[in-house]
Amino acid sequence: MALSLSIHGLQVSATADYFHDTDEGLILRGKNVSLEPPQPFVRQYIHGWQSWSLTAWLEAGRMLPASHPYRLHPLQLDPAYARHPLPHSSWVGALEFGNGAVLLLGALGLDAHIEYSAGTMRGWYESGDGEWLTAYGTESQVFASYAAALAARLGKHREVPAPRIWCSWYSYFGHCSEMELSLDLEGLHDLPFDVFQVDDGWEQCIGDWEPNTKFPSGMDGFARKIRASGFTPGLWLAPLIALPSCHLFKEHADWFLRDERGRLVSAGHNWGRNVFALDPTHPAVLEWLAALMGKVRGWGYDYVKLDFLYAAALPGKRHNDIPREASLRQAMETIRESLGDAYLLACGAPILPVLGLCDGLRISPDVAAHWANPVDSETLYNFATPGALNALRTSLGRLWLKPLVDTDPDVAFFRSVHLALSSEQKTLLQDLALIAGFRGTSDLPRWLSIEERNSLRQFLMAEPEVLKMDRHRFQLDQREVDFSPHVGLPSDSTFSAGRFKRFVQGRSNSEWLLALVYRYGEHLRRRTLRKK
């Protein structure tokens, strides 16, 4: 029904089934709702579905082209909306007016979407109906109200400082081994890290969560070594996906998510092939998950990074026909219960479905040893690929989640070897981590000079007072940190496609062609750096 609402003094035309004024703010109910403010807005907020999906403020009415390659859609965003015809946001939308005030429409349920069209913010639930919070005020006020309303429904984390993490990924990638990590343990022993976390590379196969031959002491043996060095053992797993080559898949093909026609649903392309998604509405899958979490705790890991969690919430036909995000939440409930009091970092995770069930949440795509790759931004229109700038931009758009969960903006760098970041760019990532309140690095102790090791130590010990000045500007103790010159998106003119771009885009699912284009992009980038 059509309504005329006054939201904190702003007169708004709206549609909803009904509304009520509460202590939390004005709440709407309906499968479909809309808000149409009286005056034009200047910017709209786009919130990505899962950790790695782009989150940013865009100029009013602006829509980014669909990202390439398409085969990465399931892995980088909500594939159901990857080619949505209007600017799309998951769960929460916000409009900024010329005077800086913001009107927010935020879903309080798990399967909601927002689109922007002709001055209107329209929201809908994929299945059934649900509640929406509306708020008008400063950006900080409206997002704080939304966070409080979410906390009341989904819960929030324990309020203790987030652990400081050393994580193996951004130095070893898949090539970590017990031998090398043991040396790192020695090299790190006098640095104030809380957790030493083994990332991808220890397992037999994605799906078969047993140690490979690079971990001869077994994961329990290695956890003991970590603990003996004074750190909490941490371990990475991707428990909701599997590669078709693993035993799990071969033995239980019926546990995997399929589409209406019975074909396996791709959870994206990684490790050189398609990965598939478990269907946790299958009771046997939940049992298997609980046993896996129990095994990891039994090995001695009290910090667990669970990755690729979006897989359970991909579109598909489920064993038990419940909405896709509810299926993920159910799996998370089982996982949470089986992990007991272990610290759970959710990664590659749809944001709302994991709130209240995890301690930390990755709020960005991966950082990388480089700032940005023009092939990603200008040829593939992809802002979810690994890169320091992509991580920084999306993290900044998600800091409002801080009251709900430890917000992990991914690691910072202190080294100068094996790194293509300037010292200013390194400082931006370090400051972001201090602002987000979650600190980690992957730098190998043997890569750090004495000065770099000292600045890492200072970073880990710092307890700065953080003051938010505006959207991208902060005060860290007495120092001002301004991210605004860095985080804008390329202008629309960058997206005009010439013949070369169209050729690459049309064939971007081809791995060898992309590899070639990346190499050419890298060559151009180095040439420009040399000229500077």
Residues near ligand 9PG (CB under 6 A): 52, 72, 75-76, 169, 199-200, 236, 270, 307, 347-348, 366
The residue with its CB nearest to ligand 9PG is 200
Q: Are strands 10-15 and 32-36 parallel, antiparallel or unpaired?
A: antiparallel
* 366 catalytically annotated: yes
Evaluate whether 406 touches 162 at the Cβ level (below 8 Å).
yes
HEC sequence for 48-69: CCECCCCCEEEECCCCCCCCCC
Is the Cα torsion angle 459, 463, 465, 471 positive or negative in sign?
A: positive
Cα(92)–Cα(78) distance, integer angstroms: 14
From 188, 171, 314, select the one nearest 240 (Cα to Cα): 314
Considering beta carbons, is residue 111 or 410 the nearer one to ligand 9PG? 410
Q: Which is nearer to ligand 9PG, 75 or 487 (CB)?
A: 75
- Per the CB < 8 A criterion, the answer to whether 497 and 505 are in contact is yes
Complete edge-to-edge strand list for the sheet that includes strand 266-270: 241-242, 273-277, 266-270
Cβ distance to ligand 9PG smaller for residue 93 or 365: 365
Nearest residue to 64 via CA among 42, 81, 40: 81
φ/ψ of residue 147, rounded to 5: -60, -40
Element (H, E) at 325: helix 324-339
CB burial class (10 A; 0-12, 13-18, 19+) of residue 28? buried
Provide CB contacts within 8 A for 148, sequence distance 6+: 24, 403
Contacts of 521 (CB under 8 A, 6+ apart): 373, 374, 375, 379
- 199 versus 443: smaller Cβ distance to ligand 9PG: 199
Of 78, 307, 406, 408, the active-site residue reads 307
Q: What is the DSSP string of 87-154?
A: -EEESEEEEE-TTS-EEEEEESSSSEEEEEETTEEEEEESSS-EEEEEEEE-HHHHHHHHHHHHHHHH
Judge whether 182 and 423 are in contact, CB under 8 Å: no
Q: Record the tokens describing residue 488, joined without a space.
A: 């804008």
The burial class, CB within 10 Å (0-12 / 13-18 / 19+), for 267 is: buried
Catalytic residues, by residue number, are 307, 366
